A and B are shown apart, each in its own frame.
Chain A
Amino acid sequence: MAKPGTARTAPPSSHAPELDRLIHERLRLGIVSALAVNEALSFADLKKLLNTSDGNLSVHARKLEEAQYIACTKTFEGRLPRTEYRLTAAGRRALERYLEHMEALIRATREA
């Protein structure tokens, strides 16, 4: 909840300073959203669900992992490696904040 000390000089309709850019990116937002409603999803599940490529998914998943928004476990199913992702508490909070942020944006334009 710690709000960075951004200047309050911006017009009230602009909530940009609070925006979490980490999950603002489309695919990363998709990963977090999909994991929010599943205990865990494999790399293959996510790829199919978000309709993206291996490379793209792994790049963005790694970004989220570095921020500790998601946790990754690698296991072996027979000889095939299986990567599973879960949403962390920090990731869930980030998504909630993001949703609140979007709501605020909509409310602000409605009131303007």
Chain B
Amino acid sequence: MTTVLLINDDDDIAQLVRSLLQARGMTVLDAHDESTVEKQLREFPADVVVIDSDIRSATSLHLINVVRSLTKVPIVLLTEASLALRCLPSLDLPLVFSKPIDVNDFAERIMALVPTEEAEVLSDLTAQLADLRKVFADALPSKLDTLSEAVSAAQMDPAHIEVAHMLAHRLHGSAGSYGFEAVGHAAAGLEDLLADVFENRQLASQNAFWESVRSALQDTRMSANRAPELEAIAPGVLIGRTRAILVVDDDPDFLRLVKANSRALMIDVVTAQTPQEALQYARTRPFVAALLDVHLGPNTNAFELAKEIRRTPQNESLRIAFVSGDGAMQTRVSAIEAGASKFLEKTTLNDSFATTMEAFLKSSADDRGRVIVVEDDADTREMYMFILEQAGYSVSGLECADVLVETLEEKGADLLLLDVNLPRLSGVDVCRALRMSERWGLLPILIVTSLADARLRVNAYRAGASDVMSKPVLPEELVARADAQMERARLLRDRADKDGLSGLMSRRALLENFQRVLGRCKRELEPLALVFLDIDRFKMVNDTRGHLAGDRVIARLGELMRQRYRVEDLRGRWGGEEFALVFPGQEREFATHAAENLLREFSRIPFYSDDGTEFYVTFTAGISGYPDDGESLEALFRCADDRLYAGKRSGRNRIMGAGSLTEVSEIWDAEEGL
């Protein structure tokens, strides 16, 4: 409970202020002169002292000094406008009001001055946590020294490996909990390396092994050096979701180069020299993107590795780029099937690395969601924007709602953060207006109020706010509320846009996205290719193998299509046993290769009928391309559909490209088995 000491001898004003503050749950005590002030403050510690300057027995300046000698709580001065101007600068008071006061404004700002209990506890906690982290940070260099010594001792005598492993393990577990995530990850790499020796004792006698241990140790040290810089940017903010990029290459020099580059770009890069290492990282954390060398050594297939990384639950939608000097069609097809959005050449990497990674970070933020923040106070607005950007959102800011609708239309938004007190229109009115429009009727809107006033909350909800939060805004709370709104919106969208059985886009979502992508290709003079495919003799599969087996076929093909290709390629279930695949920026030839590979893979998957017998399934596909086969969505679908039916008539189990008949000869002829 907040206690306010009101020093005043004008009963009318005292009455007004008292009832205002009491209505908001505060306890109000009175004092009329210097001696009662002393008595009250000694007996009942106040949280705020309000001084009215019209006091005859002492000047307000003297009273301020008396209060200051007794307590450190904020002092609010109520005074004549002329007096306020004269004494303001020298007094260093948090609030000065000139009479007559605006009662609501007055109460609200007094409330804002007194931290609410919960906020106090949390800010206190954050401070304690910051202290703990400081202690940890101070001890970190000596921990790293101990770790280095343990590694050296282990190299001399493998009996000490266990000690080094334990130290790395501890650092792995603790560093991240103290906010030093990069140190934790690097230590995890070291821990895993050292654990390998337990399985294979031979390693301990190999120089190459100790070299990689040394480099992992070096990584750990480097990330420890970098941590304080990040701290300086975000003091006390614990919510920063890392936006890290995974780089996989067997060449340590290249990895060092990338690390150096990424530091300059302020991108968090995690490097892995082996596929095992890369997968270990991918299983434990989400990445924004992965950059893989196509040539990862003789026994490693980089494309398979990319697919496996994408199969880890946290990295289903990460961007993938390959580094290679080889631009052959089959390599490109394999790369795109493995999800590559970008091909980089090692020789020109310095320039293209920066632009590619920045584009990846940007598009990943767009994927997470776009937030528009409307708040007139520049500092507050920037704080909200910083917090939300740290949480991985793409954020833009406005100081008033005047151009809000234009901004919404131009940039789109997944969440709107509205302050209640805006110039001209209030946030509540803005919210009400948006709710009346069809287009923005469902947009999640989060309203921030500085009044912990139930009536205002009710008004905000009545106006259609999805959520209301009051100042002071805690970073964690802001992110948690934004996340919750986004997640709800995403679930609703998914339910409408996703086909339940295949997990691909629904027909409607595919059409909408296709239209958008086609428009962009036209503007940017890029080609586009469409694959329209139909599972062969699916009715017979359902009739002879059972409907559940038919469902499994649809689900498996959907899964295969989800696991392949780039994030930007569209994959949808058209209906029944028909599917569509759209490759923006690619020619028909490419799509034909890709469809052939898909057919080959799909036709080798064994299915089991409801009674347990094994069977195989094929499909037939028609390809069409913009601009060669037409300019409109309808023309492209019609053309692909014509080719698909030509393929069905000429025997099924084949891909029909532009005019020429392409048959995949070595595949299993599944129809024999039906």
User: Is the A/B pair a real complex?
Assistant: no
